[in-house]
Each structure stands twice: as C-alpha cells, then as structure tokens.
Amino acid sequence: MRIEESRESAEWCAARSYVDIRYEHSGDGIAKITLCRPEVRNAFRPQTLVEISDALTHAREDESVGVIVLTGEGPDAFCSGGDQRVRGDTGYLTEPGEPGAVGRFHVTDLQVQIRRLPKPVVAMVAGYAIGGGHVLHLVCDLTIAADNARFGQVGPKVGSFDGGFGAGLLAQQIGQRKAKEFWLLCEQYDAGEALAMGLVNKVVPLAELETETLAWCRRMLRLSPMALRLSKASFHAAEDGLTGIQQLAHDANLLFYATDEAKEGREAFKAKRQPDFARFPRRS
Ligand SMILES: CC(C)(COP(=O)(O)OP(=O)(O)OC[C@H]1O[C@@H](n2cnc3c(N)ncnc32)[C@H](O)[C@@H]1OP(=O)(O)O)[C@@H](O)C(=O)NCCC(=O)NCCSC(=O)c1cc(O)c2ccccc2c1O
C-alpha cells in the first residue's frame, strides 16, 4: 500500500511564550523551536539556551508531539554559535557587565539533552550553521538544508574549540580527515558539499525548506513512536558509553513494567505477600 505523502505547510500555533525563541505546534504532532535573534545571525546567549532547553522539555513531555524541528529565524542563518558580545573570560555571561559574573557553557547541556530526547529532532537549516550553531545541527538526528546553507567551525579563528560532540561527532559523520579540515582551517562549506560529505540528509531550494522538512517529519509521525525512540537510542548506546546504555536499559525497563511478570512484583509488594514468579517462563 502506498501512503500519500503530505506536502502541506503547517498553521503554526504558539504553544508557549519566550523572549529569544518561538515555540510552536503544527497541530498534527510537530513542535518547532525557532531561534529568533536574526540581528546576530541567531547567535545564542545563555537565556536563549535555557529557553530552548525548556521548550524541549515541554516537547518531550507533551504526548501530542512526535517530532521536533529546530531552526533559525529568517533565511540568513540557522545559528552562528555563541553570542560573542556576552562572551566573558570564564564562559558566556548571563549578566554581562556585572562585576564578578560567572560564565557558563549551557550549550553543552543542550547538546546532551537533544541526544537523550526520546523523539526525533530535525535541524532545518537556512543560511549559516557556524561554530556552536554548527554543533547544534550535528547533534540533531536529521538535517534538512536549504540551498543557501553554509556550514563551518570557527573555533580556532575566534579563540575557542569544542572537543566533545563538535569534534567527535563531526568525525563520526564525515570522517576524521574532513572533520580535522573543518576545525584546522575554519573554512565554510556550501549545502552541496555538505550533502556530499553526509553532513546533511537533503538539500532543497530555500522556498521549499519548510514543506520538505514537514514532509520528513510527517513520514516519521506515521511510524511506531517506540521503535523510533529505540532506534535513536541505539545509535547513541555505544558512543555515549554508560549513559547511552542506561538510556536503552531504561527503555527496556519501560517496556518490562507493562508485563504481567513485572506487575506481579508490584502487586505482591502492595498486598504484602510473596511474589509468585513461577508461572513466568525462563526464556532461552
Ligand atoms: C555567521 C557569519 C559567518 C555571518 O557572516 P555575515 O557576513 O553574513 O554577517 P555579519 O558577520 O555581518 O553578521 C551580521 C551581524 O551579526 C553579528 N554576529 C554574527 N555572529 C555573531 C555571534 N556569534 N555573536 C555575536 N554577534 C554575531 C555580527 O557582529 C553583525 O552585527 P553588526 O552589528 O556588525 O551588524 C559571521 O557573522 C560569523 O562568523 N560570526 C561569528 C561566529 C562566531 O564567532 N561564533 C562563535 C563561535 S564559538 C561558539 O559558538 C561556542 C559556543 C559555546 O557555548 C561553546 C561551548 C563549549 C565549547 C565550545 C563552544 C563554542 O565554540
């Protein structure tokens, strides 16, 4: 049976209100988070990251949401990384100008949150995905790019580096040689080059970026949510070490809780009796 593909746009509805981002729902299972700082090519400051994290938590908890899209406002940039105007000597500052303000690197927490989120996260990239903004698209599960997209790392040019996902995940996706080229030369790559490297899943004309992204999201929405969740976790299980295994193990527990065998343990405890596990098979 061939399922008709929907190429419709969405009537986005604001689902929560923030200062630096927009958080919207499509009404059919898609949440969209938009970085709204186009005057700085959607660079993030600490508040931006705290807001994205909060929106992701809501999208995770909301059972009506199956897929999350992360994007930037306007055609010029997905995200240009950390806002250099609030970069202090110890990290990015929540209250720049305050004497003794302590810097933070919230984006590293956000990268982990995206990877651990049990729903697919799709980066929808128009224009620049640069620096920490490039790493944000890397940690998303899929990337749909507009034909004007440009990708690159700038760390060694601006006095920074990302030895975590920014280096390791990039190398896994495009190979060590090319990943080193990204970091050691700080050049930019266009959408066609990114596609050829396996850095993005699809390139489309800018005008079709959202409808194409929505079509991919809707394809996933037709699939088993639990199988999608387990598939995403499977990709990270080995790479993320014990925390990756912990996530898969948690999913196994989630499924185990629904069995009569697990329920017997719970019910026996509540009834203050010995559990009777004898009727459950010792599977080979
Ligand atoms: C992104 C660009 C390539 C775009 O170039 P373009 O020529 O199109 O535009 P302009 O350069 O004229 O920019 C327009 C306007 O925006 C301002 N702006 C752009 N990017 C930023 C930014 N990141 N921070 C602050 N402001 C920005 C720019 O100044 C202009 O303003 P005007 O007032 O002059 O109009 C190009 O802009 C560019 O290369 N931008 C800088 C990119 C950058 O340095 N990013 C930070 C890299 S470091 C980083 O992101 C990072 C963050 C973390 O939290 C980390 C945590 C842990 C490890 C590593 C981290 C990390 O590396």
List, for residues 92-140, the tens digit of each pLDDT value: 998 887 777 888 888 999 999 999 999 999 999 999 999 999 999 999 9
pLDDT mean across residues, the chain? 95
Provide the pLDDT for residue 139.
98
Q: Is the CB of 108 under 6 A from ligand 1?
A: yes
Q: Tell me the pLDDT band of 4, cut-offs 50, 70 and 90.
A: low
Residue 18, annotated ligand binder? no
Which pTM does this prediction carry? 0.96
Q: Which domains does the chain have, with CATH numbers?
A: 13-223 (3.90.226.10), 226-270 (1.10.12.10)
- Tell me whether strands 30-35 and 189-190 are parallel, antiparallel or unpaired: unpaired
Residue 82, annotated ligand binder? yes
Provide the pLDDT for residue 97.
78
**What ipTM does this complex have?**
0.98
Contact at 8 Å (CB) between 34 and 73?
yes
Read off the pLDDT of residues 258-284 as tens digits, 9 standing for 90 and up.
999 999 999 999 999 999 999 999 999
Provide the pLDDT for residue 2.
56
Q: What sign does the CA torsion over 234, 240, 244, 245 have?
A: positive
Contact at 8 Å (CB) between 164 and 243?
no
CA-closest residue to ligand 1 atom 61: 132
Provide the pLDDT for residue 190.
98
Contact at 8 Å (CB) between 24 and 34?
yes
Report how far residue 247's alpha carbon sits from residue 244's, in angstroms, rounded to the nearest whole number. Answer: 5
CA-closest residue to ligand 1 atom 51: 132
By mean pLDDT, which of 3-12, 85-94, 171-180 is the weakest? 3-12
Given 3-state DSSP classes, what are the helix, strand and coil percentages for the chain, each rounded to the nearest 5?
A: 45, 20, 35
Residue 257, annotated ligand binder? yes
Q: Percent of the chain having pLDDT more than 90?
A: 90
Q: Is the CB of 12 under 6 A from ligand 1?
A: no
For residue 3, pLDDT over 80 is answered with no
